[in-house]
Structures are given as structure tokens and as C-alpha cells.
Structure 1
Amino acid sequence: MNSPSSPDPAFSDSSVPSNADKKRWRQYLADEQAEAATYRYLAERRDGEERDILLALAEAEGRHEEHWRTLLGDDAGRKARASFRNRVLGLLARRFGSVFVLALAQRAEGRSPYAQDPNATSAMAADEQIHEEVIRGLATRGRTRLSGNFRAAVFGANDGLVSNLALIMGIGATGVSSTFILISGLAGLLAGALSMGAGEYVSVRSQRELLEASRPTQITLSAAKSLDIDANELVLVYRARGMTKEAAEHRAAERMGLYSCDCDPSFSLNPEADAEDKRDEHESVGTGLGAAASSFCFFASGAVIPVLPYLFGLTGMTAVVLSCVLVGLALLMTGAVVGLLSGASPLKRALRQLAIGLGAAAATYLLGMVFGTTAL
């Protein structure tokens, strides 16, 4: 396998690179420099193992830089500008360094052209694939922390946008006054926000209580010393939790202070790991009050958007069209954010949100026209 810094053998000494080749290589060089800088910026905001990993990624991008410098030779001094995506990524890394930046970096690594470029080594192409997985791993903890309250926020904003737009369009299609539409929209905003907040609080609290009820208690610590060793009920406890008989016997022996059990040492207790698992579970679920507050605020912020034209005195079809446009832009934004954080295509997620939201609003508008005509 070729080393990342060695020129590709497909390019022999007798070959003369074209201007297009040199231009492409200069672009690769600039992008590698920008990506290395981004990882260094991110490393400045972290410590410990995460910092070491990010600096190692920057070092790997530096090896890729040397490959393109070697191919360019004397032309390496002619600078190219990094791609717009990498420039934005570097700017965000300097200012924020959050999971959003890691998600963008993950997508950037996944779009590397090296696998199709004959002048990039196979080692470089493999590096880029591995880098995507490394960034995915670094972003996982941030995504886990966000997932609980972020889920409530996204659902709240999306529900506010779609439900209130649908309400306004459905009522507006019946031919009622703009004042009535405005009051209905504000009432829908308040009622929906309170309902979403209360619903999220109950939902998250119930989920956390279910997790607590499913986790083992510490009763075995106090009861173990009084159990009959020859008829050890602890084995049944651990088998009921899904352990094999051998693992259950080893765990029970530890609980009772007997460490002579000839079993796999990997069955040993690990309180630190159990505590970490518990923290991860609760981080991913979120807190009841946090989810309720996020849901309330984001539903209200979403639901107010379709009402804005009526708040500013617009009426008729002008207000309806402007409401649709404003909600459409907001749906595109929320869809793109969800796509970005999930590592999927932001454009596809944005268009999906737009289609679902405007489709629901169009359906209620048609129903409003039917009922309005019938009422007349």
C-alpha cells in the first residue's frame, strides 16, 4: 500500500500534469489545510482524550497536505482558496466548537473525492473513511446530551408551525374576518403550547420512572449475607435480568464475598460502568421540566409565525400566502437542523419537513373551503 505522502504511481516522472490537474491538487491542498485548522480549533475547546483525537486528525490531514505538495512541486507555492464549506466550517469551529460543527465535519469527511481520484493514494481514501467514523464517535456524546430536550424542541416547533398554519388556513377558507382568524391563531398558539408542555412533562417523567423501575435495586447487598449459600437465590435474580447461568453464579459469588468461583472474570461487577449507563440513559431521555419548557417555548415560537401577517394587519389571500411562505422557510430550517445533527442530508430532511407541513395545511384549507361553501 502506498503511504499517504508518496506520489501516486499512476503519475510517472515522464507524465506532465495538466493545468486542470494542478488546479485540482491546489484545491485539495487548500482544503486539507482548512480541515487541519478546523480540528485544531476544535481541540482548543476540549481536553483529555477528545483533544488528543482531534489533534491526531489534524496531523493526518497534514500528511495528506504533503502528498499534494509533493505532486505540485514548485507549483505548491501558488495558493488556492479552500472550498466555501471548509471556510464556513473553520469559522464555526473558531466561534462555537459544538456538536453542530462536528456534524458538519462528519459530512465533509464523508464526501471526500479521494476514492475516485487517480492521484490520491488508497491509504488517503481509507483515511478519510475512518475520519468520518472518528468524528461520528466524537459527536455521539453531544448528540446524546441533545437528544432528550432537542427532540421536544424540534417536535414543539414543527407542531406549532404546522398545526397553527393549518388552523389559520382552515378557518380562513371559510370566509370569516381577519380579526377572527387572528384571535383563533393566538388561541391555538396558547392552547397548543400549554398542551405540548404538559404532554412532554408527563411523557418524559413517565419514561424516566419506567427506567428507574427497571433498574436493579441494592437490596441484594443487605440480603446477601443472610442467604443460604447452597441454595443461592441471588443466582435467580441475575438470571432473571438476562444473565447466563455461569455469569449469574459469578455475580452472586461476588455479592456474597466468595471470589473463588471459577468463571469468566469479565462477569465481575463494574459499578462505575453501571453509573455511566444510568447517566447516559437519563441524558438521552432528558428532564421533565427541561422537555416541557423546550416544548412550550418552541411550540409558541413556531405557532406565532403563521399569525405574523395578521398581527401586522394583512388580510385575505395576501396574508395566507405570506403565512405559507414564512412557515415554509421555518420548516426548511428545522428540517435542515435535524438532518445535520443526525448526519443525514440537510436538504432531504428540509424538503421532507416542507412537504409534510404544507401538505397538512393544504388539506385543512380545502376542508375549510368545503365547510365554508356548505355553510353559505
Structure 2
Amino acid sequence: MDYNKNYIEELFDSEVYRRLGDVEKDRVTRIYLYKLSEMERKHSEIWKEIAISRGIKLGKLKWYHKWKINFYVIFRKIFGLELTTKLLENGEESDIKKYYELSKSEELSEEERQKMRELSVDEAVHEEIISTVKSKDVSDFVYGISDGLVEVLAATSGLSGAFNIPFLVGISGLIIGASGTLSMAIGAYLSTKSEKEINEHKRRKIEIQKLVDRKEVAKKLSMILTELGIRENIASDISPQLVDVAEDIIAPKVEESPKKSAGVTALSYISGAVIPIIPYLLGIGGLVGVISSYIISGIAIFIVGYLIGLLSSVNPAKKGVEMLSLGILAAIGTHILGLLASYYLHI
């Protein structure tokens, strides 16, 4: 068992969460981050105690650990806290399993095994706290970049097969990107606005029902609580006490702004859309232009896929490779169509 490695890992995590807490503006989130830091610090102290009892000398955080900590802080400033915590959370499941296995290790005393069981529980709590950090804007932005990247890469690849003028391909790609941006932004605006309007209508209807027949509202609440898994008799008992806040339970307020949703969607889509057309706007045409576009777009698609993997709690690298493969296949398919159009239409 590598006591020093376990000690350093916990010390590293403690320092990461402390630094993230230092740069966090939201007071409640900052408190959570400091709590996580303290939790990891406690874990490192347990490993320190176990190591000292065996006469094992422990090391300190090295330069590359400090570099990684700075990386997480910079990553948080660019991509937000949700993606940063998802990146950190990647190893948490294995930590829970690791401490559970250690709680049965013959290398440790009964008292130390008990501490490992406590650490396993701590890591589970840790994961639950991290899972509460969410940002819809970040999710929308990442998915929007993905749409713009793949769609415009496929379109420009097809155009490059049909036309041998790089600037024309680049301008056409910009027009397609602008068109897609407007379409996506309008769709996001109307979708969010419609959701808010429907939600507000439901809330007003519940408020009127409360004035007319509170018992009927209580019945609705009871049904909802039962569907959530609460026993029917308990749901019936507590629902009358919740009538005053019924609208917040049945139709919680939609806080998202339609304008903000449209803005985030537009910015994210166009951010992805400009990447595939960069080589063509620089005047790089022919096979070199296509390959250049594929390379820079492929790197971007993999990164976006990796981030989507983090957000979706699936293997980030696997998701990145999957998105890269599908994106490149779509581009190759449309490129072949462009070549066929050029040949048969004599463009």
C-alpha cells in the first residue's frame, strides 16, 4: 500500500478546492468548496497519522501538483465551476471503491479499517455535494459549439469538393454559420419564452384554484407526492399543509431569460461554426485546405466531446472519440457529395 501516494492525493484535492473557493464569487458555493477542502484535508491527516505510526516519511506537493492546481483554476475561469467539478469528480467513484476495499484490508488495524469506512462515506457525500453544482448556461454553450462545429464542417467540406476557390468556400461557410446562428437563437428564444408563458399560466391557474377550492389543490399535491414515492397516507396528511406553496411545487418558476438563452445559443453556435472555415478564409484551398479544416475541427470536436462527456457523467475520452468519428464521417460524406456535384454538374 502506497501511504505517501494516498496522502499526497488527498492533500492535492484539498488545495484544489481551497483555491477554487478563493476565486468563487457566490457565497454559498464558496462555503461548499471550503467544506470540501476541509474534508480532503481531514483525509490527508488520517493518512499522515497512519504513515507516521509505521515510520513512513511523507512527501510534499511538488511543482507539477501546483501546476495542475493552477490549471484547474484557469479551467474554472474559462469553462465554469460545473465542468471543473465534473473533471475533478472523475475519480471520485474509484475513491469510494478504493476506501471500501481498504476497509477490508489486512494491512490495517481494526481502528484504521473503521477510518477507511468513514472515508468511503465521506467520498460519497463529497460526490453528492459536487453533483449539486450545475449551470445550464455552460451546458447550452458546450452543446451549441458542438452543433456549429459539426454542421459547418460538413457543409464546408461538401462545398470544398464542389468549388476549388477557398475564399468562396469560406464565405459560404460564414453565411451557413450566420444562418444557423439566427435559426438556433430564434428557436432558443421562442422555446424559453413559451416555457415561461406556459409555466406562468399554470401558476395563475393554481392561485385561482386555491381561492376557489383548497381541497382540490391538496388532492393534486397528494397525487404528485405519491408519484414521487411518498406513501399515499403520508402524502394525504401533509398535502393540506403545502397548499399555500402549491404553485412552487406543481409549477416552479422558470428563471431563465429568453434573451439570455438566445444570446448564449447564438454565441456558442457561431463560436463552433467559425473553426472549420479558418483555413479557407486564410486562402488555403484544395486538399491542403480540406485536411487543415479537418485537423483543427477534429481537435475542437474532440475537446467539445470530452466536455460533453464530463457533463453527461460518461467516459469523457470515449465521448470525445465518438463525436470526433461521427463529425469526420459526416464531413467526408458531404465532401463526396460535393465532388459528385462538381463532376456531374461541371461546376
Q: TM-score surpassing 0.5?
A: yes
Counterpart for residue 184 of structure 1: 172
Counterpart for residue 155 of structure 1: 143
Residue correspondence of structure 1 range 74-223 to structure 2 within 5 A: 75-76=56-57, 78-79=58-59, 81=61, 88-89=68-69, 92=72, 98-112=81-95, 113-115=98-100, 118=105, 119=107, 122-123=113-114, 126-143=117-134, 146-147=135-136, 149-215=137-203, 216-220=205-209, 222-223=211-212
* CA distance in structure 2 between the aligned counterparts of 1:234 and 1:26, rounded to whole angstroms: 63
* CA distance in structure 2 between the aligned counterparts of 1:317 and 1:276, rounded to whole angstroms: 58
Displacement of 1:272? 6.7
- 8 Å Cα contact 1:34/1:87 also seen in 2: no
Q: What TM-score, normalized to structure 2?
A: 0.78
Q: Residue by residue, what CA displacement relative to the aligned partner does 1:170-192 show, whole Å, maximum 9, x if unpaired?
A: 11112442232122112112111
- 8 Å Cα contact 1:115/1:122 also seen in 2: no
Displacement of 1:126? 4.1
Counterpart for residue 230 of structure 2: none
Counterpart for residue 215 of structure 2: 235
Task: Write the letter of the residue equivalent to 1:62.
Answer: S
- 8 Å Cα contact 2:10/2:41 also seen in 1: no
**Is the deviation greater in 204-213 or in 314-323?**
204-213
Counterpart for residue 367 of structure 1: 337
* CA distance in structure 1 between the aligned counterparts of 2:258 and 2:32, rounded to whole angstroms: 30
Three-state SS of the structure 1 residue aligned to 2:192 is: helix
Residue correspondence of structure 1 range 265-304 to structure 2 within 5 A: 265=238, 267-269=240-242, 275=248, 282=254, 286-304=256-274
Counterpart for residue 5 of structure 2: 27
Task: Write the letter of the residue equivalent to 1:288.
Answer: P
- 8 Å Cα contact 2:221/2:246 also seen in 1: no
What is the RMSD computed on CA atoms of the aligned residues? Answer: 3.5
Q: State whether structure 2 residue 292 is matched by structure 1 residue 322.
A: yes
- 8 Å Cα contact 1:170/1:368 also seen in 2: yes
* CA distance in structure 2 between the aligned counterparts of 1:244 and 1:159, rounded to whole angstroms: 39
Comparing both structures, which one devotes a greater share of its residues to helix? 2
Displacement of 1:90? 6.7
Q: What TM-score, normalized to structure 1?
A: 0.72
Three-state SS of the structure 2 residue aligned to 1:243 is: helix
Displacement of 1:199? 1.2
Displacement of 1:208? 2.3
Q: 1:273 to 1:101 in 2, by over 3 A?
A: farther
* CA distance in structure 2 between the aligned counterparts of 1:72 and 1:214, rounded to whole angstroms: 65
Larger radius of gyration: 1
* CA distance in structure 2 between the aligned counterparts of 1:59 and 1:86, rounded to whole angstroms: 16
- 8 Å Cα contact 2:10/2:43 also seen in 1: yes
- 8 Å Cα contact 1:34/1:82 also seen in 2: no
Displacement of 1:304? 0.8
- 8 Å Cα contact 1:109/1:128 also seen in 2: no
Q: Structure 1: where are the runs of 5+ without partners?
A: 1-20, 224-232, 248-262
Three-state SS of the structure 1 residue aligned to 2:47 is: helix
Q: 1:91 to 1:61 in 2, by over 3 A?
A: farther
**Is the deviation greater in 51-60 or in 177-186?**
51-60
Task: Write the letter of the residue equivalent to 1:243.
Answer: S
For this pair of structures, how many residues does the alignment match? 321
Three-state SS of the structure 2 residue aligned to 1:79 is: coil
Q: 1:194 to 1:91 in 2, by over 3 A?
A: closer
